[in-house]
């Protein structure tokens, strides 16, 4: 029989663990904050698929231990058609928690796999509290996690909030404390951390909410989340649904904030249960969000190296989401870029993009290489180190499409002497008077406008390839996709 704690209060082991974590993240200023006595009620929602029963149990226990009992209306478990035999046999025993708090724990079992976004939507529909906190089941909440969430949403029901994440290592269960940071996303819609904005630092208040940001797990006013369309059930598996929600909230008159005083520790997973290959759902999710919410959708397609026309990506039926956008009178993506996220830069002048190769050997492609500045030819693959973007002004960018206004793309340069081309940050290349402008038409030579030397490749002694900047021969280059009429043979 599995041991299930029946008392919804702190046991000795749980107390020691939480205090250790509290000391680690050093939230003294947060613990000194005082909150109004009247606060909204909370539904804690745990989504799981093939989790270990002990992990789910730990999440439940932490929510009970560290949420004021008068605020915690319910904990809803949503099982997304797990195959784990332990969950099938013993999950219902978790309801022993209800012996001391009747009705506290509810279990929803899907009879077919609905994946993350749809599972989250199911839970929001059955929740009864004022505020829903939609979490993964592999988390443990920390001391005082709920109060900042509830007070923030009580002040403004259109704010969707996220805690600050810490990481629990799966093999040692050691807590890896994460510093407070802003979560950004790039044109591929990957999330990454960035430094805190100066406006927040100037507040001199380490407990102040930070915006804009991205939520992975989130809390929201239950009714507001329903009004703006909840989670997009058309998203596959997971990955990118948080960016889609962020765009929708901001564009449809809400806001997104991260709360420094709300800390949730996320247990990293040794394996991903939903899919071994996430490339298909990630492309689906990225293009789906781009079609609905991003006027600069071409940037997403180019970043993923997907053709702008006849992409072959089935992003599903978006008609209901477009109708929602119209109903809510949502603002444009251009407004979002100017007013919420100005660090994201669109590029409007791309003539061609994709993998770049020449007929000498079409199994190898131009590649950014592992050593900064040292471009190589490498066997063609799908990763972004082989992305190439040609601009009519003459710049050739090599490598991932840079999203941020304060970071440079890598420009192909002719240093002016020697035979070896380099990759340099574009602004640095201009400052150092390197030659970054090239004449190139599809299926023709790549000619530096200043030096009149061509970019070519030749075999080296090891059987690989090396670059040569030399007087043009008959060597020509191709680029995978074209924009507008650049790729047409009669284009000037």
The chain-wide mean pLDDT, for the chain, equals: 87
Which of 288, 312, 339 lies at the terminal end of a domain, its last residue? 339
Assign residue 309 the CATH number of its domain: 1.10.8.460
Based on the domain organization, do 107 and 221 belong to the same domain? yes
Based on the domain organization, do 286 and 369 belong to the same domain? no
315, part of any domain: yes
Q: Contact at 8 Å (CB) between 279 and 382? A: yes
Assign residue 187 the CATH number of its domain: 3.90.550.10
pLDDT at position 36 over 50: yes
The mean pLDDT value for 172-181 works out to: 87
Distance CA 228, CA 67 (A): 27
- What is the predicted pLDDT for the residue at 218? 93
Q: The tokens of 197 are what?
A: 């904005």
The mean pLDDT value for 336-355 works out to: 91
Q: Bridge-partner residues for 259, per DSSP? A: 163
Q: The tokens of 369 are what?
A: 């290489």
- List the single range of 211-215, 253-257, 399-403 with lowest mean pLDDT: 211-215
Give the rounded distance of the alpha carbon of 13 from its chain centre. Answer: 35
- List the single range of 4-13, 198-207, 267-276 with lowest mean pLDDT: 4-13
What contacts 220, CB < 8 A, 6 or more positions away? 131, 132, 134, 153, 159, 160, 161
- What is the predicted pLDDT for the residue at 293? 96
The mean pLDDT value for 151-169 works out to: 95
- pLDDT single digits (tens) 216-240: 789 999 999 999 999 898 988 878 8
The mean pLDDT value for 48-72 works out to: 93
Query: What percentage of the chain carries pLDDT values higher than 70?
Result: 91
Preceding amide of 419 cis, omega within 30? no
- What is the predicted pLDDT for the residue at 82? 83
**Number of domains making up the chain:** 3
Based on the domain organization, do 239 and 284 belong to the same domain? no
- What is the predicted pLDDT for the residue at 69? 95
- List the single range of 171-180, 183-192, 257-266, 357-366 with lowest mean pLDDT: 183-192
The mean pLDDT value for 394-402 works out to: 93
- What is the predicted pLDDT for the residue at 253? 94
Q: How confident is the model at residue 335 (pLDDT cuts 50, 70, 90)?
A: very high
Alpha-helical runs (H) found in 104-157: 115-126, 146-155
pLDDT at position 18 over 50: no
- What is the predicted pLDDT for the residue at 115? 67
Which of 339, 361, 390 lies at the terminal end of a domain, its last residue? 339
- pLDDT single digits (tens) 68-82: 999 999 999 998 888
Based on the domain organization, do 176 and 97 belong to the same domain? yes
- What is the predicted pLDDT for the residue at 9? 31
The mean pLDDT value for 388-396 works out to: 96
- 277: DSSP letter: -
Q: How confident is the model at residue 461 (pLDDT cuts 50, 70, 90)?
A: confident
Based on the domain organization, do 365 and 396 belong to the same domain? yes
Based on the domain organization, do 238 and 324 belong to the same domain? no
> Kind and range of the H or E element at 289?
helix 279-293
Rounded alpha-carbon distances, angstroms, from residue 362 to 366, 432, 444, 454: 10, 34, 15, 19
pLDDT at position 354 over 90: yes
More confidently predicted of 387 and 99: 387
Distance CA 386, CA 377 (A): 9
The mean pLDDT value for 27-41 works out to: 89
Based on the domain organization, do 139 and 252 belong to the same domain? yes
Based on the domain organization, do 180 and 234 belong to the same domain? yes
- pLDDT single digits (tens) 276-300: 677 888 899 999 999 999 988 999 9
pLDDT at position 304 over 60: yes
Q: Provide the residue range defining the domain that includes 450.
A: 352-482
- For the chain, the straight-line distance linking the first and the last C-alpha, in angstroms and rounded, comes to 77
Assign residue 421 the CATH number of its domain: 2.80.10.50
Q: How confident is the model at residue 25 (pLDDT cuts 50, 70, 90)?
A: very low
- pLDDT single digits (tens) 100-143: 899 999 998 887 777 667 677 777 889 999 999 999 999 999 99
């Amino acid at each position: 029989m599995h041991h299930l704690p029946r008392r919804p209060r702190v046991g000795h082991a749980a107390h020691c663990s939480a205090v250790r974590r509290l000391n680690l993240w050093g939230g003294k200023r947060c613990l000194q904050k005082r909150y109004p006595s009247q606060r909204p009620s909370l539904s804690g929602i745990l989504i799981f698929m093939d989790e270990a029963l002990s992990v789910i149990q730990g999440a439940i226990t932490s929510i009970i231990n560290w949420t004021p009992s008068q605020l915690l209306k319910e904990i809803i478990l949503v099982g997304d058609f797990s195959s784990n035999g332990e969950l099938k046999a013993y999950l219902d025993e978790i309801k022993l928690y209800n012996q001391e708090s009747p009705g506290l724990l509810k279990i929803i079992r899907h009879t077919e796999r609905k994946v993350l976004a749809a599972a989250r939507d199911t839970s929001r529909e059955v929740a009864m509290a004022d505020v829903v906190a939609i979490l993964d089941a592999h988390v443990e909440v920390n001391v005082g996690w709920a109060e900042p969430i509830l007070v923030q949403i009580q002040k403004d029901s259109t704010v969707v909030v996220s805690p600050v994440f810490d990481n629990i290592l799966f093999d040692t269960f050691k807590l890896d404390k994460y510093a407070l940071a802003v979560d950004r996303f790039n044109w591929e819609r990957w999330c990454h951390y960035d430094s805190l904005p100066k406006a927040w630092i100037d507040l001199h208040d380490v407990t102040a909410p930070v915006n804009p940001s991205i939520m992975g797990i989130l809390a929201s006013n239950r009714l507001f989340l329903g009004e703006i369309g909840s989670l997009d059930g058309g998203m596959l598996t997971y990955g990118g649904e948080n960016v889609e929600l962020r765009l929708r909230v901001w564009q449809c008159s809400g806001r997104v904030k991260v709360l420094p005083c709300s800390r949730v520790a996320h247990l990293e997973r040794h394996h991903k249960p939903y899919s071994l290959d996430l490339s298909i759902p990630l492309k689906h999710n990225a293009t789906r969000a781009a079609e609905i919410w991003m006027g600069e959708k071409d940037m997403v397609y180019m970043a993923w190296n997907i053709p702008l026309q006849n992409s072959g990506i089935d992003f599903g039926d978006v008609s209901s989401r477009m109708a929602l956008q119209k109903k809510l009178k949502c603002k444009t993506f251009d407004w979002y870029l100017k007013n919420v996220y100005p660090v994201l830069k669109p590029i409007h002048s791309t003539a061609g993009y994709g993998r770049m190769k020449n007929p000498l050997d079409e199994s190898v492609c131009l590649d950014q290489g592992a050593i900064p500045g040292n471009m190589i030819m490498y066997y063609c693959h799908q990763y972004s180190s082989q992305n190439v973007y040609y601009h009519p002004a003459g710049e050739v960018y090599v490598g991932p499409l840079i999203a941020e206004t304060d970071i440079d793309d890598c420009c192909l340069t002719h240093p002016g002497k020697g035979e070896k081309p380099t990759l340099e940050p574009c602004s640095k290349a201009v400052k150092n008077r390197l030659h970054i402008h090239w004449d190139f038409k599809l299926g023709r030579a790549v000619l530096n406008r200043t030096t009149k030397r061509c970019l070519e490749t030749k075999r080296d002694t090891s059987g690989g390839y090396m670059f040569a900047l030399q007087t043009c021969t008959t060597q020509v280059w191709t680029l995978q996709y074209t924009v507008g009429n650049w790729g047409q043979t009669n284009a000037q």
